[in-house]
A = this chain, B = another copy of it.
Amino acid sequence: MANVAKFNREDVIRKAMLLFWEKGFNGASTRDLQQAIDMRPGSIYAAFGSKEKLYSEALECYSKEMSDILMRHIAEQRSPLAGLERFFQNVVVDQRDSNPSEVCMLVKTLSEVNEQHPDLLQLSRELLKRTEDRFTDILQLALKQGELAGHPDPRMIAKQLQVQMIGLRIYMKTSGNMASVSELIAGLFKSISTRSDLN
């Protein structure tokens, strides 16, 4: 008898995620939401409790999708570092028009939300931390394969990549200059790689 709900929960959360990503937490009204996910207020609040809780689920959905994209690139590319670089190019440059916003949704949340919604702050922090940890794992792999130049510390390079990913996406929105940004990404990976044939 459990879960006789008519609506597809995952589907609804994803649609909510796309709206929140585009308009932000304050910018997306509950009416916008109702239209986007095609549900009436009563059902929404019965299923999710509050706008904030639905936003939380949307954040996790976003984070999982980004993680899947990262892992797909790692699997498809010939090496961990090449996979990371393709991931950067893909997210920052290629997807720029097809996404609801050029800015990372976790960053948007962190930037918009204050102490009135501590759960959202904490969650976006945690999800960003998870991304950094994933970067670290991949760089550890790259280290083992001798891909990292200099005296490499995977945990420190992961931090650098995190800073770059955040900065590059916003810079992309600022400048709109795809060529420059591609060049910045290429330069970044050249600087941490032993290989000289990158790009």
Contacts and interface: CB of A to CB of B under 8 A. Distances in A.
A36 interface: no
B166 A162 contact: no
Chain A's interface size range is 35 or more
A196 B1 CA distance: 69
Contacts of A168: 163, 167
A145 to B, nearest CB: 23
Nearest to A131: B174
Count of this chain's copies in the oligomeric assembly: 2
Interface string A84-103: 00000000000000000101
Contact of A110 (B27, B165, B170, B191): B170
Interface string A168-199: 10110111000010011001000100000000
13 contacts: A22-B114, A24-B112, A26-B27, A101-B111, A110-B174, A124-B174, A129-B174, A159-B184, A160-B187, A163-B168, A163-B171, A166-B171, A191-B191
